[in-house]
Amino acid sequence: MDINNYLNLNNFNIDFMLKLLQDHQKLINENKILKNSLKNSSKSKKETSKPTPKFYLTPKIGKLIEKCIKTLKQADPISGWFLHLLAINGCRGTELQKVKMQ
């Protein structure tokens, strides 16, 4: 299709250009709104996301966990043995359970 036929330049009128300009302005406004909403949504995600804590087993913490497991075995044998098995297997769940160590 020839571009002259598409725009019909032979019968050029101002109404067509005004409508084209208005449509272009609407698109620019919608684009601004979308950009702002994208910026706002990315800001809220960054604020809510927190870094995950890193846990490292030092010898001192390992001894505290073993002491806590022994105490827990006496108070509640099932939970104590469960944590004992987790500790033997090297599962870090014993740290993540937030068990109060005494």
* Average pLDDT across the chain, whole number: 72
Q: What is the pLDDT of residue 94?
A: 46
The residue among 100, 40, 48, 28 whose CA lies nearest residue 69 is 100
pLDDT of residue 26: 92
Tell me the C-alpha to C-alpha distance, in Å, between residue 67 and each of 14, 16, 40, 102. Answer: 87, 84, 49, 8
Q: What is the mean pLDDT of residues 23-43?
A: 86
Q: Find the helix packing angle between 59-75 and 77-88, rounded to 10°.
A: 150
> Which tokens sit at 12?
């050029």
Give domain limits for the chain: 3-48, 59-96
Work out whether the CA dihedral 90, 95, 96, 97 comes out positive or negative.
positive
- pLDDT at position 90 over 70: no
Question: What pLDDT is attached to residue 1?
Answer: 47
